[in-house]
C-alpha cells in the first residue's frame, strides 16, 4: 500500500480532478433564454417593495427620535424638580446644535 513519490494521494487526486459543469434547467420549447425576464410584474413588485421599505425606515427614524426627545425631557424635568427641592436655581438646558 505504499505510495510512490510521483503518485498523488487519492484524496488530493479526487479534489484536483475537474468536475462536469452544471447544465442549466430546461426551458420550454420555442422560448429563447435571452427573452425570459421578470417583466412588468417583477418591476412593479420590486418598486412597491422598495417604497414600503423606505416608508418603514422613515417611520422608524421618527419613532426613535421621539423616544430620545421624551427621555431628554424627562431628564430635564427631573433635574428641575431636584433643583427646586434642594432650593437651587435650575440650570439652563444645553441646546442641541
Among residues of the chain, what percentage have pLDDT more than 70? 81
Give the mean model confidence (pLDDT) for residues 31-56: 89
Decide if pLDDT at 4 tops 70. Answer: no
User: How large a percentage of the chain has pLDDT more than 90?
Assistant: 40
pTM of the complete model beyond 0.85:
no
Calculate mean pLDDT across residues 88-92. 62
> What's the whole-number average pLDDT of the chain?
82
pLDDT score at 63: 95
Residues 51, 68 contacting (CB under 8 angstroms)? no
CA distance 22 to 16: 17
Amino acid at each position: 500500500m505504499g505510495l510512490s513519490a510521483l503518485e498523488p494521494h487519492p484524496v488530493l487526486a479526487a479534489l484536483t480532478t475537474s468536475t462536469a459543469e452544471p447544465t442549466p434547467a430546461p426551458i420550454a420549447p420555442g422560448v429563447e433564454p435571452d427573452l425570459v425576464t421578470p417583466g412588468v410584474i417583477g418591476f412593479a413588485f420590486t418598486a412597491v417593495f422598495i417604497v414600503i421599505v423606505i416608508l418603514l425606515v422613515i417611520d422608524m427614524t421618527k419613532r426613535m427620535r421621539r423616544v430620545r426627545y421624551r427621555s431628554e425631557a424627562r431628564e430635564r424635568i427631573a433635574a428641575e424638580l431636584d433643583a427646586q427641592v434642594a432650593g437651587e436655581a435650575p440650570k439652563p438646558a444645553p441646546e442641541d446644535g
